[in-house]
Structures are given as C-alpha cells and as structure tokens.
Chains A and B, each alone.
Chain A
Amino acid sequence: MAKNSDTNKDSLSEEDKNKISQLVIEEALRLIREDAIDKDYEKRLEDLLIKEFKKVSL
C-alpha cells in the first residue's frame, strides 16, 4: 500500500484503486447475470471490500 505523501496518511495506491474498482464493477455485472436481489448485492459488495481492504492493509 502506498503512502500519500501530502497527508502522510495511508491511502490506496492507484493500482489498488483500479483493481478494487474492477472487482466492484464485476460484482455489479454479476448482479445482472445472477439476478441477485439488491440486498444480497450490497452485502456481497461489503464483504468484497472488507476482504480487499484487509489485503492492502497487511
């Protein structure tokens, strides 16, 4: 994970943002394909984010 030099606060690198954004979009597409109800979608998205954020936090 990259450090933001301006604020000296941990933030996602461009690479991380791109990767996670792609995963978010794929999840959105899966929603259409699998005909998932919205509630499930948000839960899945939240789980996905937590999983990915934990990875970049390590």
Chain B
Amino acid sequence: MILRSIAFENWKQIYGEQKIAFSSDRDRNTTLFLGYNGAGKTTILNAVLWCFYEMFTPNISDPEEIVNKEAQRRGIKQGAVTIEFEYESAIYCARRESLGGKKSILSVTKKQTGSWVSVDNPERLLSSVLPRSLAPYFFYDGEAEISKFLEKSKEAGKAVRSIIGVSHVDKAISSLSKIRKKFGKEAELVGGQTAELSQLNAKIQDNEDIRAKLTLEIEEFKENELKLREVKTKIDEQLVSLKETEGIQRIVLNLEKQISEFESQLERAKRELFEYFGARGAFVLARFFVEKPRKIIDEAYESGKVPRDISEALFRDISKKEMCICGRPLGHGSTEFEKVLSRRNESGDTHEGRRLQYIGELVASIHEGCEVETEKFFELISSVRVFEEKIQALHDQKDDEAKKLTDNVGREHAQIVAEKKRVEDDLRSTVAKIGAGQRDLEVLTEQIREADKRKAELARVQGKVNDRLRFEQYTAEVQAYLEKWIEAHENLQRKAIEDRMNQALNEIANKAFVVRVDEEFGFGIFKKVGDKFEATDGSRGEKQLVCLLFVAALIETVTGRADAPTGMGLLLKGAIAPIILDSTFGSMQSDYSHRSLKRLSERTHQLVLFFSDQQIDSDLFSAIKKKVSQVYSLVIEAPDRANKEFEAAGFSFVGVRSNSSISEAITKIERLNYE
C-alpha cells in the first residue's frame, strides 16, 4: 500500500476541510510534518488509524469526541477522514464517517476506468492490505511507553505470524482439527452400526440354531403324527369290528372326516389371514384399532377376536410397519403419530402410556385410502370364525356320538375307547404343534432373510467406517506436518528478524550492543563489555532504537516478500506498506537517530515522519533531505485569548496564529517550502 493523500472534515482538532498529499515517489518517498507539541502530529497519525481500523493510539484524549469542537459549535454533527491509496496497481479510497460517539461507518471505493466502484466488505479488504494487528507497527506512536512496547512480545509475535502468513495456516490447522474430529465422529456414528452388525450376526446365528432345532422338532412331530395315525386306524378298525359299535363308529368316522376337511380349510383360512397380516395387516388393524383402541387391543389379546395363535406374530409385525399398502410412507413424524405420542408422553411410563405408545406405532400406519383392505380383513376374520364354528359344531356332534359309543360298548371295550380319545388328543396336539412350528419357521426364515439384507447394508457402512478412520488418521498426519512446518518457519523468520535488527545495529550503533529475540518474541538487549555481551535493561534511547529497528525489520520482511512466490517456502505475498513514525527519536542519541532515519528512508517504500521542534535539527534533516518531497507545518490557530496563552507559553513562530473567528484552538496544515 502507498498512501496518496489524506483529507479531513471537521475531524478532532482539524476544523473545516483540509487535504494533503503524501510523497509517493519511490525515490523521494518521505513526507515530513513539523509542529509544536499539541499542534496535531499525533492527531494525524490517529486519523489514519481511525479511518482504516477505527482505532486510536493509547494516549489520545476524548476518543469518543470525533467532531471538531468549533464545527460542533456551528451545528456540524459529522466528522470524516478520507484516505486515497494505491494497492496492487489499483487506486482505492477509504472513507470513515462518524455517526456520533464511538460509532462510525467505513466505505471503500476502487477506481475503475475513471469512476469509483464500491468495494464489498471494506474491513476485509483493508485487513488484507495491512492486517489490523500490524497497524501499531506501521503506524507507530513513538510517544507510547517504550517498555510496554518491548514487553508486548506476544503482540510482536502475532505481528510476525501475520506478516509471514502463519496466522492463516493457524486457521487452516484449527479447521483441520475440527475436520479430523468430524471424521472421527462419523466413524463413531457408523461404528455404532458396526456394533449392530455383530449383534446381527449373533442374532442370525441364534435364529439359524433355533430354525435347525425347530425343523428337527417338526420332523419328530410328523413322525409322531404318522405313528399316532397308525394307532388310531388300528383302534378304529377294532371299534368297527365290534357289532354293537359299528353303526356309531361309522358316524364318528364320517364326522372326523368332515372335521379334518374343515380343519384343512381353517388352516388355509388362517394362513391366508396370517399372510395378509404379514404383508399388510398392520395398516388394516391400525385403522381398526384406532377406532376403539383400548377395547380392541384388550379384546384382541384377551377374548380372541384376533385368532390367538397368530396374534403374537401379528402384533410383532404391526409394530414394525412404517409404510402403507399403497406405498405411502407413514412412519414416525406423521401428524397422527405425533398426536398419540404427545398423549403418550403426558401419560408417562404407565400401562396407559405404554398402550398409547403402542397405538402410536399403529397410527403411524393409517391411511384413509386403505378402507377396502379393512373390509377384507373382516371377511378373512369371519371366514376363520365360520370354520372354527363349523368345526366346533362337528366336534360337539362327534362328542355326542362318542358318548353313545361309550354307553354302548361293554366294560371290556371302554379301554379301547379311552385309548382312542387319548390318541386323538395327542394327534390334535401334535398337528397343532406342527402347524405352529411351521408358522414359526416361516417367521424365522423371514427374519433371517431380513437380517441378511441388513447385514449387506451394514457391510457397505463398514467400508465407510474404515474410510473415515483412515481419513481421521491422515488429517492428523497433515495437521502434525503443518504444525511442525509452522514452528520451523516461524523460527526461521524470527532469526531473520533478529539478524536484520543486529545488522542495522552494527551500522547504527557500531556494534555497541546486540538484540536477541527469544521464542516468545521477547526482546533482550546485550551490551558489549570487553569481548562479551552482557544482558542490560538499556537506556530509554536504546529501547527506542530497538523498537524502531523491530519495526524496520518487519517492514523489510514485508518488502522482501513483495515479489515472493506463494507456497510452502513463503506464504503470503508481502505488501508494500507505508510507515508513519510519530516522534520516534525523543530520547535517542543524535547519531543513532540520524543513521536509523537514513537507513529507514532508504529501505522503505514510503515514510511519513512527525517532528517537534525539539526532535529535528539541521543535521537530521540533511540526512534525509534527498528523500523528502513534501514538508508540512502544523499551525495552531487560536482565538486572541488562546493566542496570548500560547505566547505566554513561549510560542512565537508561525506555528501559532491568531484567528478571531473561532472559539477554540484548531490545527491548520500548510505546505512548507524548504531549502
């Protein structure tokens, strides 16, 4: 950045509008401001800081009173500073206007083909031109307490980090850390599914075992059934062979045949009902249950409205459904579900609560469009009931006949009839067990199939877990690499700054003392005693020199980077930055100030210097004269009364002028011709 001009509008002690140009020629790069103490030197430095960063030097008075008092007296309520500067071959104009108190607004425009175009996010632009953390070093207040400056090693470290671009890499490292954690978390999340996978494998294995056992049991039942049937046939043959029971036995056998036929039909009806539930029953029942929830569920379990032997599978099935027969998803989150869930939450963990939770699951499956399915459900239920009733009637009839049989046989045959009853009971129980076992087998097979499907999904997830774990590790490696690199790079730059400062000290102070910069950017002054260097506090002038040389070393670091490539070697391209020094040489011995000033004016792109009458002499001016193109005098204009006070204080040159039209002292900036 090169400063071109600065314009003030009723800003602090500058009344009205005043604009000045800076020396911006590379060969004659120095601008001088001369003025007595209180004339406004630090005000100009503060105007630059305020305009760019809305900040002030520590010692400024009334930082909240921006608008010039004389202007205020005349009803003007706004003060502003406008700075025109060059940056990367373009011309910009930064303007900050006060909005009362500490509030202000910044705008930046860029000159493009003759017109000024507003820049979005002006603060960020200025921050990229010259970061705020660097402002105190480039716009340097020499009157600030030196010891504080030297103690602020952290601040100096921050400035260097900012200059060499490390602060941006810090940001990258912090982001890497977040991303690494995110990868870890993602792996953990899907890792939870890995636990599910092992549970699933165990469950599949258990189910396989149960299935094998069940298959074996069913085989045994079937064998048993065959045996029982053979026994029953023999008993029946025995009973038929008895004259007195022949007629009744034939009726019984006929009834048994009918029962067997109806039982087959009942089994088919039940299977159809079961399959219907398995595929879509949930939605049908959901609607059915919601109409009379409590009653229906209780009845379903307790009074067998839903056939008892399939109810367990049915309800298990119901609670899993989340999609309607029509394909519409009706899972958690549907209005109906939420309504019931909210009631469930109000009910707490009570029987009622659990019931409502259950109903909620059912409600999630409701769909008006499935009315027809509800009707089919009732048809199926009735058909099961019809068969059950028919079978029951036949059994009653058979029981009557069996009683007649018992009444008609002699005592010697009662044993055969009793045996037949026992075998029939066993047979019925075995057939029921086979039916139930086969249904359980189907359920198990379905569960294993579902689990295998889920297992395949989880295997894909496992791949993602491995990826995330690997990425987490890689990110940590890149992060560690960058941290190590930053440390090395920072040390290198710290050493370079120390070398630059000592190189300057060699020239300026004839090797009388050296500076050491420690890892925390703390500065140590070492004086030459004999052949050795010993640590010393240093005089105020020496401290001033060290501070100035640190600033100069920073500038050289920045300037040295102006044409540097980006990449791992050098991070940020350096910016050409101006350096404004306010009253830097107060306590410095004159040869130090002459040499350091000469060195600075030769090595910086732009230099703005403020001097009071106590700080400049002809020798100092001669040292930099060749580089100076603009000299300004800061003139105090004061009303008569004030003028007298200044005169009484010993001011007698042009720096103080009477102005009867104002009530308070103001600063006038005038271009000065010099020899």
Interface residue ranges, A against B (CB under 8 Å)? 9-12, 17-18, 20-22, 24-29, 31-32, 35, 41-42, 45-46, 49-50, 53, 56-57
9 more CB-based (< 8 A) A-B contacts, given A18-B568, A56-B474? A9-B473, A21-B568, A25-B482, A25-B571, A28-B171, A29-B165, A35-B124, A45-B172, A45-B175
Interface of B is mostly: helix
Least CB distance from B484 to A in Å reads 10
* Nearest Cβ on chain A to B134's Cβ, whole angstroms: 15
Contact A25 B169 (CB under 8 A): yes
B485-517 CB mask vs A (1 if < 8 Å, else 0) is 100000000000000000000000000000000
Q: Contact at A53–B172, with CB atoms within 8 Å?
A: no
Cα(A45)–Cα(B171), bound, Å: 11
Are B121 and A35 interface neighbours, CB within 8 A? yes
Say yes or no: B470 contacts A10, CB within 8 Å.
Answer: yes
Question: A32: which of B128, B178, B467, B475 is its contact (CB, 8 Å)?
Answer: B128
A-B contact pairs, 7 of them (CB 8 A): A18-B481, A21-B568, A22-B568, A24-B482, A28-B168, A29-B165, A45-B172
User: Within the assembled complex, what's the spacing in Å between the Cα atoms of A42 and B183?
Assistant: 13
Report A34 CB to chain B, min CB distance, Å. Answer: 11
Known: A25-B568, A32-B128. A42 touches B175 (CB 8 A): yes
Q: Which residue of A lies closest to B178 (CB)?
A: A42
When distances are taken between beta carbons in the complex, the residues of chain B under 8 Å from A42 are 175, 178-179
A17-B481, A35-B124 are contacts. A22–B567 as well, Cβ < 8 Å? yes
Of all A-B residue pairs in the complex, the 3 with the closest CB atoms, nearest first, are A17-B481, A28-B172, A28-B168
Give the residue of A25, A31, A35, A49 whose beta carbon is less than 8 angstroms from that of B474: A49
Contact A26 B179 (CB under 8 A): no
What residues of chain B lie closer than 8 Å to A18, measured between beta carbons? 481, 568
B76 touches A (CB below 8 Å): no
Chain B residue contacts of A45, Cβ below 8 A = 172, 175-176, 179
Q: Are A24 and B172 in contact (CB under 8 A)?
A: yes
Which B70-89 residues have a C-beta within 8 angstroms of A? none
Contacting B169 at CB < 8 Å: which of A20, A28, A49, A56? A28
Cα of A20 to Cα of B467 in the assembled complex, Å: 17
Interface residues of B in 445-470 (CB under 8 A from A): 467, 470
Nearest to B573 among chain A residues (CB) is: A29
Contact of B478 among A12, A41, A57 (CB under 8 A): A12
Contact indicator A25/B172 (Cβ below 8 Å): yes
Residues of A within 8 A of B128 (CB): 32
Closest-by-CB residue of A relative to B572 is A29
Tell me whether B178 and A11 are in contact (CB under 8 A). no
* Cβ-neighbour of A35 out of B120, B165, B169 (below 8 A): B120
Contact status A46-B182, CB under 8 Å: yes
Q: Give chain A nearest CB distance to B128 CB in angstroms.
A: 6
CA distance A18 to B477 in the complex (A): 10
- Distance (whole angstroms) from the CB of B475 to the closest CB of chain A: 6
CA distance A57 to B469 in the complex (A): 12
Proximity bits, B191-218, A CB within 8 Å = 1, else 0: 0000000000000000000000000000
A18 and B482 CA atoms in complex are apart in Å by: 9
Flag if A49 contacts B168 (CB, 8 Å): no
Q: Which residues of A contact B475 (CB under 8 A)?
A: 49, 53
User: Within the assembled complex, what's the spacing in Å between the Cα atoms of A49 and B176?
Assistant: 9
Q: A32 CA to B128 CA in the complex, in Å? A: 7
CA distance A39 to B6 in the complex (A): 37
Contact A12-B477, Cβ < 8 Å, known A35-B121, A35-B124: yes
Chain A residues with CB under 8 Å of B171's CB are: 28, 31
B566 within 8 A of A: yes
Is the beta-carbon distance between A53 and B474 smaller than 8 angstroms? Answer: yes
> What separation, in Å, do the CA atoms of A40 and B553 have in the docked complex?
36
Flag whether B149 is at the interface (Cβ < 8 A). no
Q: Say yes or no for B471: interface residue by CB 8 A criterion.
A: yes
B168 pairs with A26, CB closer than 8 A: no
Q: B179, A46: Cβ atoms under 8 Å? A: yes
Closest A residue by C-beta to B180 = A49
Cβ–Cβ contact A21 & B481, under 8 A: yes
A32-B474 in contact (CB<8A): no
Given A22-B567, A24-B176, A35-B124, A29 contacting B168 (CB threshold 8 A): yes
CB distance from B569 to the nearest CB of A (A): 10
**Are A21 and B474 interface neighbours, CB within 8 A?**
no
Q: Is the CB of A29 within 8 A of B182?
A: no
Q: How far is the CB of A7 from chain B (nearest CB, A)?
A: 10
Residues of B within 8 A of A11 (CB): 473-474, 477
A20-B478, A29-B566 given; A53·B470 CB < 8 A: yes
Q: For residue B131, give the distance in angstroms from its CB to the closest CB of chain A.
A: 10
Contacts of B470 in A (CB 8 A): 10, 53, 57
**A16 CA / B467 CA spacing, docked (Å):** 17
Q: Which residues of A contact B566 (CB under 8 A)?
A: 25-26, 29
> Is A49 touching B172 in the complex (CB atoms < 8 A)?
no
- Tell me the bound Cα distance from A5 to B230 in angstroms: 75
Q: A27-B172, A29-B168, A29-B572 are in contact. Are A17 and B477 (CB under 8 A)?
A: yes
Q: How far is the CB of B89 from the nearest CB of chain A, in Å? A: 16
**Residues on the B chain within 8 Å of A35, using CB:** 120-121, 124
CA–CA, A20 and B568, complex, Å? 11
A49 contact set on B, CB distance < 8 A: 176, 179, 471, 474-475, 478
Q: What are the residues of chain A within 8 A of B473 when measuring CB–CB?
A: 9, 11
* Complex: A31 Cα to B172 Cα, angstroms: 10
* B172 contacts across to A, CB distance below 8 A: 24-25, 27-28, 45
Contacting A at CB under 8 A, from B122-177, are 124, 128, 165, 168-169, 171-172, 175-176
Chain A's nearest CB lies how many Å from the CB of B129?
A: 11
User: Closest chain B residue to A54 by CB distance?
Assistant: B467
Chain B contacts for A26, CB-based, 8 A: 566
Task: Tell me whether A17 and B478 are in contact (CB under 8 A).
Answer: yes
Cα A31 to Cα B121 with chains together (Å): 14
Distance in angstroms from A31 CB to nearest chain B CB is 7
Please give the distance in Å from B590's CB to the nearest CB on chain A. Answer: 43
Minimum Cβ distance to chain B for residue A29 (Å): 6
Please measure, in the bound complex, the distance between the C-alpha atom of A36 and the C-alpha atom of B474, giving whole angstroms: 25
Q: In the complex the two chains form, what is the Cα distance from A31 to B487 in whole Å?
A: 22
**A29 cross-chain contacts in B, Cβ below 8 A:** 165, 168, 566, 571-572
